[in-house]
Structures are given as C-alpha cells and as structure tokens.
Amino acid sequence: MSPPSLIQATPSSGAGAPIALSYELFPPRNETAAVSLWDTIRELECTNPDYVSVTYGANGSNRDTAVELLNRILTETSLRPLAHLTCVGNTADELADIISELLDHGVRGILALRGDLPNDAPAEPRAGSLAYAQDLIELIRRVEQRRSALLCAGKVAIGVAAYPTKHPESPSVEHDVEVLLAKQRSGADFAITQVFFHASQYKDLVTRARRAGVSIPIIPGVMPLTSLRRVQRLGDLTGVAPDPSLLDALGRADDAAQSRRIGVQATVELARDALDAGAPGIHLYTFNEHAAALDVLDKLQLLRPGRPPVGRRLGATKQLVQA
C-alpha cells in the first residue's frame, strides 16, 4: 500500500475540482450484523470512495472488533480505511501502542478524537492520560516520526472533528473554531463535521474557521435523514432542532419506502447546498446501510458510470488523494 493521504490539502474544492467521497462504518455487534455490513462494504466499494472511516467505541470498548474490521478492509478490499481513535481514559503509552498496532496493520489514516466522557469517569483523570484531541494528534506525529522507515517517507493522514453548531461542552462557537485551529497547528490534515440539519450551519462554520486562519479542508458529514427516530435522537444529542417540516413529513410517511424517499430528498438538498457553498467533498454516515447512501449519491450525480452495473453498483467516483 503506497504512502497515502486521504484528502487533498486545499481549503475548498473550487470550480470543476473533483469531489471527495467517503463513508463512516462501525464494527458489527454480532455475526448477522457482520454479514449485512460486508454486503454494504462491497456495494460501497464499487463507488470507489477516497476512504471509509471505522468508528472506535467509547473508551475503546470495541477496539478488537474495530481492528479486525480495519484489517479485513485492508486485506480483502481496495478501500482506504480511516481509523477512529479516541484518547479519553487512555495514557500516552497505551495510545502509542494502539497507534503502532494500527500502523503495523497498514492503516495510514487516523481520525483523532477526544471521545465522550464515560458516565462513571473519575473526578481526577488517570496519571498520564490524554485529555484532548490536540494531544492525540501530537502523539500520532511523534509515533510517526519514530517509525518513518515503516512509512516509507510517507505520512499518516490525520483527520479531526469540526462542529457546525456549538459543541455541548463548549462556551461558544468561537471557542470551537479556536480548538479547530489548535488541532491544525498540531498537525491535523483535514476535518469532518458532525451532522447538521441546515446548510447555513456548515457555511457559517467554514466562514468562521477561514477568518480565524483554519486552512485545512472541512468536509461536511451528512446523515441520510430517512428515519424519524434517528433524526429525533440526533437532534437530542446535538441540541439542534431538526427542520419541523422534515419531522412532520417523516412522521406522516405510510411506510419505510416513503420515509426513505422523503429522507433521501432532504439529504440531497442539504448536501447539494453544502457543495454549492464550496465543500470539498461529502462524508456519509451510513449506519452500515448502503441503499440510502447510494440513492443520495445517485441524485447528487456523484456516481459516474464506469463499470458494468451489478445490482445497485453504478460505477465509480474517485479523487486521487495526495498530501
């Protein structure tokens, strides 16, 4: 696997520039879920994405399953994995071992996250533990420097989270931008946003970030808005109210098929508005389901016919990634 980078380091896509495409997956919870996930992986692989991110449970709760999934993606598919890694509750030595393990498996992209604080977190953090994503980025760069021969003079691509709306623990959106700028200074290559419901939230984030000096790509993270329950839960988690008209339409849907059509259309409009505003790509939170994600990409015309179609496989959209 050549020394990679997962996203081109330019502030915006620009007129006529290729659109980066990526997906989020999570490790399966059981064998039945694993079979379904691999059906999804094979379908998504045929869209030739720039990378797929693999989540990592709170406090590393599903670390072994996540590493197993990453290893299978590397050895059994053509996909580039982006490994989520959280630092809360782990010491620098523990995290350095995990980073080294990921590199040993061939992972060359890491999404560096603080992670959610566990409900039973002690009042005083463990000695030597890392508290912020910025600390994790700097640790990844130190491990990378020590292992430069393994990386063949390449570099690990580091992604981070960005927040279109105020982080629940932040005093202000301005503080969130300062945190993003600090992550960039520590070595982050690109950012993926948390889910948002209005394109204006993404546009405002980019405007604030650029004014503050953030130059790395900020990729909108978009969730297919096809489930009323999922949309409501997301609104509760983010503290941002979803569009009432979308909630009403999903609530009046006669069946799952109609709910999917409504949600896909809403997602397409949200993603298109973000792309029209200069977004360099789209990151789709798939929930390990491919049908709605492919519908969204089809309507956005991000699926270029290039191969004989197999079922819903419509071809490939690819952006060469380089650092």
Active-site amino acid positions: 24
Measured distance CA(209)–CA(48) in Å, rounded: 30
Q: How far from 47 is each of 4, 79, 269, 302, CA to CA, in Å?
A: 19, 10, 20, 9
| Strands laid side by side in the 157-162 sheet | 218-219, 190-193, 157-162, 109-113, 81-86, 51-54, 20-25, 281-285, 221-222
Q: Tell me whether residue 101 is exposed, middle or buried, using C-beta atoms within 10 angstroms of its C-beta: 0 to 12, 13 to 18, 19 or more.
A: middle
Measured distance CA(187)–CA(236) in Å, rounded: 32
- Token pair, residue 234, equals 């997301």
Which residue from 237, 233, 261 is spatially nearest to 249, judged by alpha carbons? 261
DSSP designation for 161: E
